[in-house]
Amino acid sequence: MSNDQQLISDSINRLFEKEVNRNVLESFEKGQHPESLWQLIEEGGYHRVLDVESGATWSDVQPILRAIGYYRVPLPLAETLLANWIASRAGLSECDGPATIIDGGTLEARAQAGTFLLSGTANRVPWGRQAQRFVILCKIDGRWIACTVGAGNKGIASIVPGANVASEPRDTIRFDQCRCDEHAHVDLLDEDPVRTYGALVRAVAMTGAAESVLAQALQHANVRIQFGRPIGKFQAIQHMLAEVATDVAAALAAVSGACDAAGGRNAWIEVATAKVMAGGAAIRAARVTHQVHGAMGFTHEHMLHYGTRRIWSWRNEYGSDASWAGLVGAASIRRGGSAFWPDVTEQVARLQWQRNPIEQET
């Protein structure tokens, strides 16, 4: 880790270690938004670390994204980082408070008097009801336009609450002739930025969640006594946990590769790799750590589910493992066997991969 990363990592871990406790998580499950925790995040400026002005890279914020998973932070910090990153790259104004990002693909954007009117429904918007600002990414005339809509905008016709398996808000938002507060062109080198960068933040967070459930299981295995000895002495338990640790180590390596590539050309291939590796590792970590915890881990009282329920949710957000693997596979098949090794050893920036064949021909 670079010094910057170490600094960010230490301070964010200290904050969450202290503040994201059982109380916060239990209240959150009952519908209480952890307002004061958000205040602390804003005081630390963590929600805007990815802004262009801060000079930080995706690799620098990787520890924050991982900590969101490790400590199960019940707030839209990843979404806010992402939304502010896009907004700042577009040169739009700064904004405090939670934000979220919407793929404008399902909306209709009509140009009118120097702005855009948005209409239509956005499904499963993360933390929609908490967001102070929506950053909506629309492809207009072949260019990415970032539009912002404040929470109080009259064009927001309705927000219907929904949730993922971990009780995190995934809301349905209907826009009706919603006049954007601001909009600007944003230079993004990706075909499907919301899906790609959404997948990236979920992949990194999943490695954090997987690491935390593994740590819980290791601890449990050393203290739970059956047949007169800690269950961690049984080889079956040891091997299950060793395998999970290996999966998680691999996922950590993959997400660090994705963070290095993020923002650049063909970042998607690294993000896809990260999402596939992290998804697989996390789902196996959830399965095995529950097995190791026995019935106790199946209770609401035990903290394990705060990690595993997030894993089950995040794994399929912004594209399943299989959908990302399919993209990588199809592109690799098109490139052919002789390109495989040169591609694997090529620096990402020089890669000439294309996500679909149509673009490859141009």
SS3 97: coil
Tokens of 40: 């602390």
Q: How far is the CB of 196 from another protein (least distance, A)?
A: 15
State whether the Cα torsion 301-307-308-310 is positive or negative. Answer: positive
**Beta carbons of 273 and 359 less than 8 angstroms apart:** no
Closer to another protein at the Cβ: 59 or 88? 59
Between CA 297 and CA 355 the distance in angstroms is 41
Q: How far is the CB of 245 from another protein (least distance, A)?
A: 6
Q: Which residues, 6 or more positions from 55, have their beta carbon under 8 angstroms from its beta carbon?
A: none
Closer to another protein at the Cβ: 125 or 278? 278
SS3 319: coil
Q: How far is the CB of 97 from another protein (least distance, A)?
A: 33
Closer to another protein at the Cβ: 32 or 246? 246
Residue ranges binding another protein (CB under 8 A): 1, 211, 214-215, 218, 221-222, 232-233, 235, 237-239, 241-243, 245-250, 252-254, 256-257, 260, 270, 272-273, 276-277, 321-322, 324-338, 340-341, 344-345, 347, 357
Residue 133 CA: distances (Å) to CA of 20, 158, 278: 24, 15, 29
Closer to another protein at the Cβ: 169 or 279? 279
Q: How far is the CB of 243 from another protein (least distance, A)?
A: 7
Q: How far is the CB of 216 from another protein (least distance, A)?
A: 11
Tokens of 176: 């009706």
Between CA 195 and CA 126 the distance in angstroms is 13
Between CA 128 and CA 140 the distance in angstroms is 23
Closer to another protein at the Cβ: 181 or 270? 270
Closer to another protein at the Cβ: 106 or 222? 222
Q: How far is the CB of 323 from another protein (least distance, A)?
A: 8
Q: How far is the CB of 129 from another protein (least distance, A)?
A: 35
Q: How far is the CB of 300 from another protein (least distance, A)?
A: 26
Between CA 192 and CA 142 the distance in angstroms is 12
How many other C-beta atoms are found inside a 10 Å radius of the C-beta of residue 83? Answer: 27
Closer to another protein at the Cβ: 89 or 275? 275
**Beta carbons of 222 and 260 less than 8 angstroms apart:** no
Closer to another protein at the Cβ: 103 or 270? 270
Q: CA triplet 195, 200, 206: central angle to 5 degrees?
A: 120
**Closest alpha carbon to 269 in 278, 287, 281, 257:** 257
